[in-house]
Structure 1
Amino acid sequence: MNLENYSLIAQGAESRLYLGSYLGKDVIIKHRFSKKYRHPDLDSRLIKEHSKAEVRCLIRCQNAGINTPTIYYADDSFVVLEYLKTASRCRDVVDKYLKANDSEGLGKLAKSMGFVIGNLHKNNIIHGDLTTSNILVDTNGEIYLIDFGLGQVEGNAEDKGVDVYVLERALLSTHPQYTEDLFNIFLESYRSQLGKQAKDVIKKYEEIRLRGRKRSMEG
């Protein structure tokens, strides 16, 4: 794809994000770029695999009724996605509710997050980087999941436990004094949505959490 008319808005370790127009629609273009230190054949294979995995996760989400950006185009290294203009990062929405002292809004948000992530895991989709920057909330309170660059399908209880742990760590890093209350509401909703699987996933999450604490103490 020719990116001449698109604006670079972000860059990560594996990809760059561009904003622009595609077929008359405002879009985000995700471009996975080559790494010069990797062997060309390996580099090409990894880019293809990661792009395919992300698209697979997005399609699986849409089939399960989980909000994600619409895919307009995809190839081995590019994915063209719907630009969610009215959505904000979850971490910013939490900030807004805290400043307004809106405990009801915070509770509803945590409950909605539990429902969505529970549905994600019920459909055996693993996000892989479930931070509050990769969860968006639109003006109607609808939750969207973005950036499945590390995602996979057919995940096990350990993978799901890691997703839950990463989300807790993300909340702790930005809103430590409110994490326990928010996370308890999240977990209650998550358990309700996930059903019988929840017991094994929560057990794995608690094991992962314990390992993380031990590393911190040793560290």
Structure 2
Amino acid sequence: MRESMTLIKQGAEAKIYEGDFYNRPCIMKERFIKAYRHECLDRSLTQQRLKSEVRAMLRCRMKGISTPTVFSTDLDHGIIIMEKIENAVTIQEYIDSCKQKSPGALNDVMTKIGEIIGLMHNNNIIHGDLTSSNILLRGPASDLDLVFIDFGLSHFENNAEDKGVDLYVLERALLSTHPELDSLFESILNGYKSGNGAGYQEVMLKLEEVRLRGRKRTMVG
């Protein structure tokens, strides 16, 4: 099937292709062999991560969180074939288009993002790579749909530390691309509280600890 696909991206863990799966636009993610690891270990880790990725997307969908539909998996070759999210923009692109003309709408979207992350964490789903490129927006302005993608580093953990790290990664991603809009993350945290009210205070304490460690690393270099 790879022969009929177009390579669009290669990261540290996988190659990303796009094409069609039985006439449906799709994305194929292929985790490649790591030659520096023992063959059996590499195969085992690849299969575990692929299973976690698929399980996270399915569990999110069961909780009403939009993720790509999984069409097919191939554990032996480390392949997931999933729905291609069409007519969508990344949150990063949406912020760029909205920050001047519609700041109010921007804060509403950020609050909604926080609610969804809170719901995710309330169900012990850790995304592992929450960035403004891994959250997509699609649909008309009156009915925007947020779609979370790239669960390649996801896992399941009822751990405030991991949830705080998830939020910290997103905060750093937003500040690196839009440092002038520091209020965006506050809107996300406001939404997060309503999505994960029971665990909110503990996660906020861990988030502050993670921030402090990040600042120390920056000072030390």
Bucket of the pairwise TM-score, normalised by the shorter protein? over 0.9
- In the TM superposition, what are the counterparts of 1:56-135 in structure 2 within 5 Å? 56-76=55-75, 77-98=78-99, 100-135=100-135
SS at match of 1:176: coil
- In the TM superposition, what are the counterparts of 1:174-193 in structure 2 within 5 Å? 174-179=177-182, 181-193=183-195
- 1:36-63 deviations in Å (ceiling 9; x for gaps): 2221111111111110110111111011
Distance in structure 2 (CA, Å) of the matches to 1:178 and 1:34: 40
1:173 is matched with: 176
Residue 101 (structure 1) shift:
2.5
User: TM-score, with normalisation over the residues of structure 1?
Assistant: 0.96
Corresponding letter in the other structure for 1:93: Y
SS at match of 2:59: helix
1:15 is matched with: 14
Distance in structure 1 (CA, Å) of the matches to 2:42 and 2:218: 34
Residue 35 (structure 1) shift:
1.4
Q: 2:152 aligns with which of 149, 164, 169?
A: 149
Corresponding letter in the other structure for 2:149: I
Residue 155 (structure 1) shift:
3.7
Aligned-residue identity in percent: 45
Q: Which runs of 5+ in 2 are unaligned?
A: none
Distance in structure 1 (CA, Å) of the matches to 2:3 and 2:153: 27
Corresponding letter in the other structure for 1:164: L
User: TM-score, with normalisation over the residues of structure 2?
Assistant: 0.95
SS at match of 2:2: coil
SS at match of 1:92: helix
Corresponding letter in the other structure for 2:148: L
1:163 is matched with: 166
- In the TM superposition, what are the counterparts of 1:49-60 in structure 2 within 5 Å? 49-60=48-59
Distance in structure 2 (CA, Å) of the matches to 1:123 and 1:11: 31
Distance in structure 2 (CA, Å) of the matches to 1:172 and 1:15: 26
Corresponding letter in the other structure for 2:205: K
Distance in structure 1 (CA, Å) of the matches to 2:13 and 2:188: 30
Compute the RMSD of aligned alpha carbons.
1.0
- In the TM superposition, what are the counterparts of 1:196-211 in structure 2 within 5 Å? 196-211=198-213
SS at match of 1:110: helix
2:38 is matched with: 39
Residue 131 (structure 1) shift:
0.6
Distance in structure 2 (CA, Å) of the matches to 1:20 and 1:130: 25
TM superposition outliers: structure 1 runs of 4+ over 2 Å: none
Corresponding letter in the other structure for 1:35: K
Distance in structure 1 (CA, Å) of the matches to 2:59 and 2:136: 18
SS at match of 2:41: helix
Distance in structure 1 (CA, Å) of the matches to 2:117 and 2:4: 36
Residue 200 (structure 1) shift:
0.4
Residue 74 (structure 1) shift:
1.1
Corresponding letter in the other structure for 1:121: H
**Total equivalences in the alignment:** 216
